[in-house]
Amino acid sequence: MCDGERSGKVARVTDPGELARSALQRIHQAAVRHRDPELHHAADDIVRAALARGLDPGPVQSYRPCPVCAAEPGQLCISVPGRPVHPGDMHPERTK
């Protein structure tokens, strides 16, 4: 069942890659909502498996907390002393 079906709207995602990216984003959103780091780890495992098979899981880094500036999932990174970041960019540690 896709997001549209849950909300009462009929919207079908037919591209498998887009379906996978959407599912990963929903997992990360649930992790944020429930404050459950294990869900973030599970999504990261799925990303690693997809990359190992040559698939592009899409960008999901913004759903991870930043270990450098403590940005919460969904927030942008901010500059901290000794660790500047350009507006809209993320610290490299967040993307690993």
Could you read off the pLDDT of 38-70 as tens digits, one per residue? 888 888 888 888 888 888 777 666 677 889 999
Using the predicted structure, report yes or no on whether residue 84 has a pLDDT greater than 90: yes
- Taking the model in full, what pTM does it have? 0.58
Dihedral sign from CA coordinates of 44, 46, 49, 51 = negative
pLDDT score at 60: 66
